[in-house]
Structures are given as structure tokens and as C-alpha cells.
Amino acid sequence: MDLSLTQSVLGLASGSLVGFTLGLVGGGGSILAVPLLVYLVGVSNPHLAIGTSAIAVAANAAANLANHARAGNVKWRCALVFSVAGVIGAFGGSTLGKMVDGQQLLALFAVLMLAVGALMLRKRSAGGEPAVQLSRENFPKLVAIGMATGALSGFFGIGGGFLIVPGLILATGMPILFAVGSSLVAVTAFGLTTASNYALSGLVDWTLAALFIAGGVLGGLLGARSAKHLSAKRGALNTVFAGLIFVVAIYMLVRSLNLL
């Protein structure tokens, strides 16, 4: 895809918006990557948008993972088991996603966004067992849930943190802070797997991905800085952002079903 100057600027701006929302509300922002690439930047091929967004999501997750790892918020053994199982699922999911008609895929993506918006409105409990470790009891759960979330992540080309975090909590009983940190291992692995699968079919625009990532780094720094000042309003911010996701999802449904 030959990018015009306008598309390049919009790609940089879109990445900044995704990075900003991730830094501000702590998750869910990457769900906007595909609709921004399709409807704002003007990527006509939905599969190209998914492949390109996947590499950007992986890069963003890797950057955030480094911060959580330094803070000791990653349960590495649990995260690695979950991720390895999820990579298998992500490869299968992304392979299936490439076979689905682009407009149908966007319609399904919109339905997924509605689910994400609903999940963002739920308050997360801060409880859990901080000393949790990989065990015979939680190993099968980590494998099963990891494979399922990986498949969904690969199919839609998303980070999937909104599913991975509760999945890790369900499988191990770890606290939300550790689940968020550990989920980034899986988000990085799933994103790289999906992007690699799409790249093999020529469905990644590397120039656009680089612009998106660069914008995401800048936006993430601004979002994280703003979050410190708006921490008391985090619940309200989540509600507003969930509302934005609902609006975008409805727009996608209307466009993909040719109702507009």
C-alpha cells in the first residue's frame, strides 16, 4: 500500500490516540486500532488493517511489559504457560481470520467491541492470592484458557488483554495487578504470532505499522502522565471510553452491513 502524506499523518495520529487511551485507562485502547486504520487512515483491505495493527499491539505490549517486569508484577511461569498455549490458538485463529470475508470480519469485530465496552464498565476486584505459583491444579486451566483467548486474539488481530486478565485470574486466583502485568506477556506473544501469520501472506504494511508504533509511544507517555492527574476520575474515564467503543462498534456494524 502506497501511503499518501495525509494517510501517514493520520496513521501517526491514530497510533497516538491508541497509545494515549492505553496509558490513560490502562487497557482496551488497542481495540480501536483496526477501525482507525480502516475508517480514518483509509486502509481498504480489512485483513491488511488487522495484520498491521497486530504488530503495533505487540510492540506496545512489550513496552508496557518492561515497566511491569521492573515493578515485579509478572508471574512469569504462569504467564509463559498461558502464552505458549495461546500462541497455538493465535496461529489457528489468525489462519481462520484470513479466510473470512473482510466485511464479515469487520461486522464480527464490531460485535466483539460491544462486548469489550460492556466489560470495561465492570469494576475489577483487587483481591487475590499474591503468592500464587504454577501448579498441577492451575496448569490445565492456564493451557485451556490460554488457547481459547489466543484463538480469539489471532482471529481479530487484537491484544485481547480484556479477556486475558480475567482468564489469568480465573485460572490461578492471582490479584488484578499481577494479572495485568502477566497478561502483557501473552499480548506480546499473541500479537507477534498473528502479525507473523499475516506477514507471510503479505498482509502487513510495515511503514504504516512503524508510524502507528511511533505515535503509540508518544501517546502512551502523554496518557500515562495524564492518568496521574486524573486518577481520581479513572472510573468516569472508563465509562466515557466504553461509550466511545460502543459508538465506534455501532458505526462499524452499520458500515459493514451496508446500512449507511
Segment 58-114, tens digit of pLDDT: 888 888 788 788 889 899 999 999 999 999 999 999 999 999 998 888 899 999 888
What is the pLDDT at residue 100?
Answer: 92
Q: What's the pTM?
A: 0.84
Q: How many CB atoms lie within 10 A of CB 11?
A: 29
Highest mean pLDDT among 19-33, 165-179, 192-206, 244-258: 192-206
What is the pLDDT at residue 48?
Answer: 95
- pLDDT, one tens digit per residue, over 201-236 is 999 999 999 999 999 888 888 877 776 676 566 567
Q: Of 96-105, 120-129, 141-150, give the lowest mean pLDDT range.
A: 120-129
Distances (CA, A) of 132 to 2, 168, 172, 223: 50, 11, 7, 31
3-class DSSP string for the chain: CCCCHHHHHHHHHHHHHHHHHHHHHCCCHHHHHHHHHHHHHCCCCHHHHHHHHHHHHHHHHHHHHHHHHHCCCCCHHHHHHHHHHHHHHHHHHHHHHHHCCHHHHHHHHHHHHHHHHHHHCCCCCCCCCCCCCCCCCCHHHHHHHHHHHHHHHHHHCCCCHHHHHHHHHHHHCCCHHHHHHHHHHHHHHHHHHHHHHHHHCCCCCHHHHHHHHHHHHHHHHHHHHHHHHCHHHHHHHHHHHHHHHHHHHHHHHHHHCCCC
